[in-house]
């Protein structure tokens, strides 16, 4: 399995272009190619969970010169999230995307996006990370504007401009790091910075990275593009963007760089915690008055990503008890996985409703549980998960984060987390009332349940939501623990340079 | 040292163009200027006074090139970043044409259907 | 070639006959120079991207001077797209062939003698693949934008 690690980027890249070539002969093959490619990737990603930590040298070049690929707990975790959600989104797309033209091109862009995200997650080289980040971003810009209507183009253009600024800031930071250390290899960078110590130039680099990756993760002062871009994309793409892309490009990169390259630092920690708290509050308050279901979900994405960021921030704090910091980090990572499952489920549900009713306005819908029972039930489960109702997964991760903050002596942040959880609950109860229950409007009397290929991913994700909550001590604790231990152990990461 | 400030000035000019101008085409030019300022910065990192091009030609001693040549890595990075910039630029221009087709204007302040 | 001479005299399409005559002479040089940059990429400055841009510029000059019809006869939209895709796939295949030696992107061919045209293992092959890709995709972008631009300018005329 170790020898095939680069295939995580090679398979989607190759399939994307084979797909384009085959589409010239027959348009039907595109579905199967995308399905098989993402299916194989999902199986491979699950297999990667059982591999030990290893380093892959591309082209056989030894570390400081060649490109390293690193496989450890964190990257395995993200690989599973990306590829499994991607697989389910592809299944959903086969039916949903028939309402759009140029389906083969859609699959090509989708596979390119997956290739970029997998690349960001597996690489151990700064510039390589930047290149893959750009591949994923460019594919996502095009996918947001895929419908080519007025709103979609406007959203895509805004996203494009802000994404361009973010990439520039990231490249600026990488150039600064290279000029200081003379290396781009991430374990090597960690060693060099350990020798250099903290100085003002490094502070500038950290500011640039927080701005750049914060824009990609849509943390609050940089969130302007997300509420436009995510609702405008086709539903499976919204699910991918909200569920996976902002995590793989934004949060993962912040975690990897801050924990492993710069190491625990009170300044970074307090900035991240502040940004997280701000995102939580602003996102949830902006979500209140939205009538468009997908737009409301997008604001909730900002708010929920705040939980992940605040957890990471606590984990970076060297001044609190290490056990408590580890708990906060664990909660953040757990919430990352949970958010991927329930937010992609919610977006897919909204796509399913839209497919049958042709509207996204929640005040026009109502009583749909009588006509679309499966979609409505899964939507209910996801709403309960995101608002933190006990048996479901969202509750446990929020609880862990809140407990960690109270133990660490930040009662204010703990109180904010509780308040935001409460606001989220109110918001989703209103969504339930408006869309699923209530009176069925006259014009939706004849609405049918969505086709099987669309409900199947919904059911799988709903089961995942429940399983991640109920079976949490047995199933996913080991995998989250591995990711958490990886992040906290900077020494092990630095030793990959020589040990691998 | 002064040439690093040139890169910074270019960067700030690009950002100003991006923020202050309403025309979409000018915004695109702003993004491109910021990109090129970073490329300039990368090239300046590798520069050394009296350096030679880091290419070994027939009849040259590789050791001498390694000792006197400028750092080749930033140049490779700049090449990659130019390619990426080309991709983004093509996408932006295409998007811009599409926007004109729908809205019949290049003025960003009139393209405001998404609010709130 | 008589048909080219007729094309040059035909002033309804493309630019004036002066431009057409100059382009006719220069085009061969441009293409040869582009091919040289691609093929010698592993020995001198240049490589797949730079050479590919020069080759694509050759096509663009042809389009500008003679109008779209002649250029499309040499390479149309579909051919450009197919060449583009096969360039990527060739590059990826070179990477995957490295598995014969145990590593992705391993330089599995012999290195040869320094400064020979056939040396440095897979690098010239990579350059050719990249050159193909860049030529085709830049020309495809140009064609797409120019077709679209014509469409837009017809919209402007309608407005006025």
**DSSP for A81-139, written as a single string:** HHHHHHHHHHHHHHHHGGGSS-HHHHHHHHHHHHHHHHHHHHB-BHHHHHHHHHHHHHH
Q: Which of B58, B93, B101 sits opposite C155 (nearest CB)?
A: B101
> Each residue of B4-42: pLDDT tens digit?
888 889 999 999 998 898 889 999 999 999 999 999 998
Considering only residues 34 to 63 of chain A, which have any Cβ-Cβ distance to chain C shorter than 8 Å?
56-60
Domain's final residue, options A263, A282, A305: A263
CA–CA min distance B71, chain A (Å): 10
Q: Label residue C4 by pLDDT band (50, 70, 90).
A: low
| C84 CA: distance to closest CA in chain A (Å) | 9
Neighbours of C56 (CB within 10 A): 22
Whether residue B11 is contained in a domain is answered as: yes
Chain B residues whose CB is inside 8 A of the C130 CB are: none
Closest Cβ–Cβ partner in C141, C151, C159 for B104 = C159
Q: Looking up tokens 């500038």, which residue turns up?
A: A204
Residue A493 lies in a domain: no
A275/A415 same-domain check:
yes
The answer to whether the Cβ–Cβ distance between B97 and C115 falls below 8 Å is no
| Alpha-carbon gap: A18 to the closest alpha carbon of chain C (Å) | 8
Per-residue pLDDT at C159 exceeds 70: no
Task: Specify if A396 maps to a domain.
Answer: yes
C69 close contact with B: CB closer than 8 A:
no
| A165 vs B37: CA distance, rounded Å | 12
What pLDDT score was predicted for residue A402? 92
* Residues whose CB falls within 8 Å of the CB of residue A32, separated by 6 or more in sequence, listed in order: none
* Token output for A87: 């697989």
pLDDT bracket for residue A110 (50, 70, 90)? very high
Better pLDDT: A364 or B39? B39
Question: Which tokens hold the place of C147?
Answer: 């077709």
> Cβ separation of B97 and C145 shorter than 8 Å?
yes
* Secondary structure class of A185 (helix, strand, coil): strand
Is C62 exposed, middle or buried (CB count within 10 Å of its CB: 0-12, 13-18, 19+)?
buried
**What is the pLDDT, as a whole number, of residue A499?**
57
Asked if A290 lies within 8 A of B77 by C-beta distance, the reply is no
- The reply to whether B116 falls in a domain is no
**Structural domain includes residue A497:** no
Helix (H) or strand (E) holding C25: helix C17-39
Report the distance separating Cα A307 and Cα C61, nearest Å: 55
B103 near A CB under 8 A: yes
Residues A478 and A445 in one domain: yes
Q: Which of residues A221, A237, A263 is at a domain's end?
A: A263
Of all residues in chain C, the percent with pLDDT exceeding 90 is 6
Q: Is A145 helix (H, G, I), strand (E, B) or coil?
A: coil
Say if residue A199 is in the same domain as residue A310. Answer: no
Q: Are residues A303 and A398 in the same domain?
A: yes
Give A422-462 pLDDT, tens digit per residue. 999 999 988 888 888 878 887 777 778 888 888 899 999 99
Q: Judge contact between C48 and C126, C-beta under 8 A.
A: yes
pLDDT value at residue B68: 80
What is the H or E stretch that residue A54 is in?
strand A54-57
Residues 6+ apart with CB under 8 A from B40: B6, B7, B10
| CATH at residue B98 | 1.10.287.3510
pLDDT at C1 (0 to 100): 47
Examine the domain organization and report whether A345 and A366 are in the same domain.
yes
Residue-number span of the structural domain to which B68 is assigned = 2-50+62-110
Among A218, A242, A263, the domain-final residue is A263
| Chain C residues close to B79, C-beta within 8 Å | 49
B55 part of a folded domain? no
Q: What's the domain count of chain B?
A: 1
C63: Cα separation from own chain's centroid: 13
Average pLDDT over residues B93-112: 84
Q: Are A437 and A328 in contact (CB under 8 A)?
A: no
Candidates A48, A37, A59; CA nearest to A1 is A48
**A48 and A100 assigned to the same domain:** yes
Residue A443 confidence (pLDDT): 79
Segments forming the whole domain that contains residue A311: 266-488
Chain B nearest C-alpha distance from A155 (Å): 8
Asked if C152 lies within 8 A of B97 by C-beta distance, the reply is yes
- pLDDT (0 to 100) of residue A468: 84
Q: Where along chain C do its domains lie?
A: 2-159
Residue C157 in tokens: 């005329």
Same domain flag for A24 and A90: yes
pLDDT at C102 exceeding the cut of 70: yes
CA distance C152 to chain B (A): 6
Whole-number average pLDDT of chain A: 87
In total, how many domains does chain A have?
2
Is position B21 within any domain? Answer: yes
Locate tokens 């190759």: which residue? A14
pTM, 2 dp:
0.92
Q: Are residues A340 and A195 in the same domain?
A: no
Instruction: Please enumerate residues of B whose Cβ is less than 8 A from a Cβ of C.
Output: 53, 55, 57-58, 79, 83, 90, 93-94, 97, 100-101, 104
Question: What percentage of chain A reaches a pLDDT higher than 90?
Answer: 27
Helix %, strand %, coil % of chain C (to 5) = 75, 0, 25
**pLDDT confidence band for A83 (50 / 70 / 90):** very high
Q: Give A 286-305 residues with CB within 8 A of chain B.
A: 289-290
Residue A494 lies in a domain: no
SS3 (DSSP) at A71:
strand
């Amino acid at each position: 399995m170790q020898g095939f690690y680069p295939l995580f980027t090679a398979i989607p890249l190759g399939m994307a272009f084979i797909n384009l070539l085959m589409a010239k002969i027959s348009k039907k093959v595109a579905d199967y190619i995308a399905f098989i490619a993402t299916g194989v990737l999902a199986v491979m990603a699950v297999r990667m969970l059982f591999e030990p930590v290893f380093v892959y040298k591309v082209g056989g070049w030894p570390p400081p010169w060649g490109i390293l690929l690193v496989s450890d707990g964190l990257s395995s975790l993200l690989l599973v999230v990306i590829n499994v959600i991607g697989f389910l989104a592809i299944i959903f797309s086969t039916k949903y995307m028939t309402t759009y033209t140029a389906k083969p091109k859609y699959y090509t862009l989708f596979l390119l996006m997956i290739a970029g995200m997998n690349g960001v997650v597996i690489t151990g080289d700064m510039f390589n990370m930047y290149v893959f980040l750009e591949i994923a971003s460019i594919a996502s810009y095009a996918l947001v504007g895929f419908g080519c209507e007025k709103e979609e183009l406007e959203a895509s253009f805004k996203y494009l401009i802000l994404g361009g600024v973010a990439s520039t800031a990231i490249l600026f930071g990488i150039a600064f790091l290279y000029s200081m250390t003379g290396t781009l290899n991430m374990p090597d960078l960690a060693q060099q910075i350990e020798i250099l110590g903290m100085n003002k130039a490094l502070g500038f680099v950290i500011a640039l990275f927080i701005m750049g990756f914060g824009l990609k993760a849509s943390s609050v002062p940089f969130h302007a593009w997300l509420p436009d871009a995510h609702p405008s994309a086709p539903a499976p793409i919204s699910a991918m963007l909200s569920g996976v892309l902002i995590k793989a490009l934004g949060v993962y990169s912040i975690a990897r760089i801050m924990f492993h390259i710069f190491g625990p630092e009170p300044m970074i920690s307090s900035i991240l915690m502040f940004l997280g708290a701000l995102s939580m509050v602003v996102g949830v308050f902006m979500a209140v008055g939205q009538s468009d279901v997908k737009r409301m979900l997008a604001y909730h994405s900002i708010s929920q990503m705040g939980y992940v960021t605040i957890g990471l921030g606590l984990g970076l704090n060297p001044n609190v008890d290490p056990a408590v910091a580890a708990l906060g980090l664990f909660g953040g990572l757990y919430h990352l996985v949970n958010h991927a499952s329930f937010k992609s489920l919610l977006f897919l549900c909204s796509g399913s409703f839209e497919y049958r009713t042709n509207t996204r306005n929640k005040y026009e819908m109502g009583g749909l549980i009588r006509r679309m029972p499966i979609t409505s039930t899964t939507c209910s489960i996801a709403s309960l998960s995101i608002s933190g109702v006990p048996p479901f997964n969202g509750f446990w991760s929020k609880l862990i984060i809140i407990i960690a903050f109270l133990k660490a002596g930040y009662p204010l942040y703990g109180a904010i987390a509780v308040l935001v959880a409460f606001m989220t609950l109110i918001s989703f109860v209103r969504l339930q009332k408006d869309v699923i229950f209530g009176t069925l409007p006259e014009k939706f009397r004849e609405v049918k349940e969505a086709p099987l290929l669309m409900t199947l991913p919904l059911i799988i994700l709903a089961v995942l939501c429940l399983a991640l909550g109920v079976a949490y001590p047995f199933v996913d604790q080991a995998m989250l623990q591995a990711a958490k231990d990886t992040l906290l152990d900077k020494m092990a990461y630095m030793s990959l340079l020589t040990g691998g | 040292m002064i040439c690093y400030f040139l890169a910074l000035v270019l960067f700030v000019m690009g950002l100003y163009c991006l923020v202050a101008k309403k025309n979409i085409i000018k915004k695109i030019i702003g993004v491109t200027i910021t990109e090129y300022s970073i490329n300039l910065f990368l090239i300046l990192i590798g520069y050394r006074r009296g350096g030679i091009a880091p290419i070994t030609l027939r009849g040259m001693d590789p050791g001498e090139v390694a000792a006197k040549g400028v750092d080749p890595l930033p140049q490779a990075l700049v090449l990659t970043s130019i390619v990426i910039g080309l991709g983004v630029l093509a996408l932006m221009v295409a998007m811009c044409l599409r926007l004109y087709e729908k809205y019949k204007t290049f003025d960003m302040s009139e393209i405001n259907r998404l609010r709130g | 070639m008589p048909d080219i001479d007729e094309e040059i005299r035909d002033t309804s399409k493309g630019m004036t006959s002066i431009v057409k005559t100059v382009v006719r002479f220069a085009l061969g040089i441009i293409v040869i120079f582009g091919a040289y940059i691609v093929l010698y990429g592993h020995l001198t400055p240049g490589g797949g991207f730079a050479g590919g841009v020069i080759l694509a510029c050759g096509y663009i000059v042809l389009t500008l001077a003679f109008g779209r019809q002649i250029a499309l006869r040499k390479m149309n939209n579909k051919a450009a797209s197919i060449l583009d895709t096969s360039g990527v796939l060739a590059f990826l295949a070179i990477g995957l062939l490295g598995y014969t030696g145990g590593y992705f992107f391993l330089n599995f061919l012999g290195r040869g003698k320094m400064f020979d045209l056939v040396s440095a293992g897979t690098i010239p092959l990579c350059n050719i693949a990249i050159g193909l890709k860049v030529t085709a995709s830049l020309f495809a972008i140009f064609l797409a934008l120019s077709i679209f631009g014509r469409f837009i300018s017809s919209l402007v005329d309608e407005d006025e």
